[in-house]
Amino acid sequence: MRMLLIILVGLLLSNCTNSYVKNKKSIHSPNDLMKFTNIWCEKNKSTDKIIRMCGSGWSKDLTISENKAILSAKLKIADITQHTLLRNEMITHKENAKGVVKSYEMNADNQLTEATISGYKIVSKKVMKEKNGWRTMVLLAYNMS
């Protein structure tokens, strides 16, 4: 009987997160936005062949909000597929009267130049009212092959 009750409660709780995202119509606080974003972005994971990425955008204009969300997700995909990481390391050893002084410095720069992301698909999109504007969330899928 206890096992049946545990399974039933587990099923009810798992459905709460899906209904939370599905029924959400507006964002009321930063915590509300964080909870929604975490649930939204975790619902689809990337695989070796398909990159799934979520993006978010806010604007007083609905079209600008949608464009920002898509651009945000596309930038994340481009960062994964076409970025260049430049690393500079410098190790110095100086000898003085007290002994050897060692120092280490590393600089890293992530560069994204002239990236082309074509062939992506919008898997899902959700538009909600937030303050006096629109919050758009998109989930993009990009095929690696």
* Strand ordering across the sheet containing 50-59: 26-27, 121-130, 133-143, 50-59
Domain, as residue range, for 38: 29-83+116-143
Q: What is the mean pLDDT of each run of 10 residues along the chain (145 residues)?
A: 53 51 75 82 79 92 94 88 81 87 86 79 90 92 86
**43 falls within a domain:** yes
Q: In the prediction, which pLDDT does 48 show? A: 80
Q: How many domains does one find in the chain?
A: 1
Q: How far apart are CA 121 and CA 59, in angstroms?
A: 23
Residue 138 near residue 55 (C-beta atoms within 8 A): yes
**95 falls within a domain:** no
**57 falls within a domain:** yes
**53 falls within a domain:** yes
Instruction: Residue 41: give its domain's CATH number.
Output: 3.10.28
Quick one: tokens of 87? 């690393």
**126 falls within a domain:** yes
**97 falls within a domain:** no
Residue 65 near residue 59 (C-beta atoms within 8 A): yes
**60 falls within a domain:** yes
**46 falls within a domain:** yes
